[in-house]
Amino acid sequence: MVIDSAATTQYDWIRDRIVQIPRVKLALTPTPLQEAPNLTAALGGPRIFIKRDDLTGVAFGGNKLRNLEFRLARTMAEKPDTVIVGLDLQSNSARQTVGACNKLGLKTILVLEGKRPDIVQGNLLVDYLLGAEVIFAPTREAQREQLDLAARRCRDAGGCPHILNDNPMFDVASALAYLETTLEILEQMQRAGVRPTGFYMSSSGKGQAGLVLGRWLTNAGIEIHGVTATDEFHVPSRTAAIANETARMLGLGLVVSEDEIDNDIGFVGKGYGIPTEAAVEATRLFARTEGVVLDPIYTGKAAAGMIAHVHAGRYSKDDVLVFVHTGGTPAIFSWNTLWT
């Protein structure tokens, strides 16, 4: 079955709304959608496609480049010369922000929570390569102080800083980005003549909100499965709140409730940032069947969730799943002992 022309008209209507929002071009899109027949055979289950958002084109790629298009458009309106951002030590978001700022001709100062490790690896290594100034802060409070201090220093030197943490767009920008990605995937599937059953994505609520809106607006009948990499907050309520905020911004009379959000907390393991055996296994399986590299912190855990659901018999061979690869691959290098 293919998606009918009424749905295609609906796509234009959604795109017309998104086009109103200021944006800078950063990501290489549309990213490829690739079938994974060896993975399907290894699991003995449904057809699986991989949406390659690890290939968004800047500094190892990933999902954050899509939302940075909206966030940095807002930043650029203030005409800064320096972007200052506080994030985690091994943040994928930090790496992609530095790469994006380089493309826009902006200097970046990263204030990362944690201590400088003895061996600089993974995302942090790429941050240095990209030329970011890196400041370490031991706590969240110290990080906030360092952000303000860096901004003051920059102003005192005659510069014009922008603290990205104070830009309120992160949630909505991610949802807009993944609403658009839903259309991209559905169009790619339509061209392949395949109707998807469900999407899987590593989610802490932002991008998933966009997929959920996309499902509603296109009436595509797909199930949206998020798998969280963190247990530090309640992802379903956050996802619903972000979906609703985004719907309001787009002028849509649509309300999503948290009971409609499917987000599996069962694959976090010991906590955010700590690999699990299942994530390592899933990362190995994707690599060995398809040559696709995941990571043990986000996408490996999401893949572990999808694989567990397939093994539990949730899907038949007639089902078609799309695994959204959100990036994060440099983490394999900071967890180098897991693979040999």
Ligand X SMILES: *Cc1c(COP(=O)(O)O)cnc(C)c1O
DSSP H helical segments within 193-335, as ranges?
A: 206-218, 235-249, 277-290, 299-311, 331-334
Site for ligand X in 151-190 (CB under 6 A): 174
The single residue among 62, 196, 236, 305 that binds ligand X, judged by CB under 6 A, is 62
Residue (151 or 229) nearer to ligand X, CB: 229
Residue (154 or 297) nearer to ligand X, CB: 297
Question: Which x/- pattern, by CB under 6 A, does the window 205-244 give for ligand X?
Answer: xxxx------------------------------------
Site for ligand X in 264-323 (CB under 6 A): 298-299
The C-alpha angle 248, 299, 193, rounded to 5 degrees, equals 70
Instruction: Kindly tell me the burial class for residue 116, based on how many C-beta atoms sit within 10 Å of its own C-beta (0-12, 13-18, 19 or more).
Output: exposed
The single residue among 46, 198, 214, 327 that binds ligand X, judged by CB under 6 A, is 327
Which H or E element spans position 322? strand 320-325
Residue (62 or 122) nearer to ligand X, CB: 62
Separation CA 147–CA 169 (nearest Å): 18
Contact 214, 179 (CB under 8 A): yes
334 binds ligand X (CB under 6 A): no
The single residue among 47, 328, 332, 334 that binds ligand X, judged by CB under 6 A, is 328
Residue (190 or 202) nearer to ligand X, CB: 202
The single residue among 75, 82, 182, 204 that binds ligand X, judged by CB under 6 A, is 204
Q: In the bound complex, which residue of the shown chain has the CB atom lying closest to ligand X?
A: 328
Residue (36 or 302) nearer to ligand X, CB: 302
Q: Is the peptide bond before 236 cis (omega within 30 degrees of 0)?
A: no
202 binds ligand X (CB under 6 A): yes
**Phi and psi (nearest 5°) for 200?**
-120, 135
**Phi and psi (nearest 5°) for 130?**
-75, -10
97 binds ligand X (CB under 6 A): no
Residue (82 or 208) nearer to ligand X, CB: 208
* Residues near ligand X (CB under 6 A), total: 17
User: Which DSSP state fits 116?
Assistant: P
Number of other residues whose CB lies within 10 A of the CB of residue 1: 7
**Phi and psi (nearest 5°) for 226?**
-95, 145
> Contact positions toward ligand X, by CB under 6 A?
62-63, 92-93, 174, 202-208, 298-299, 326-328
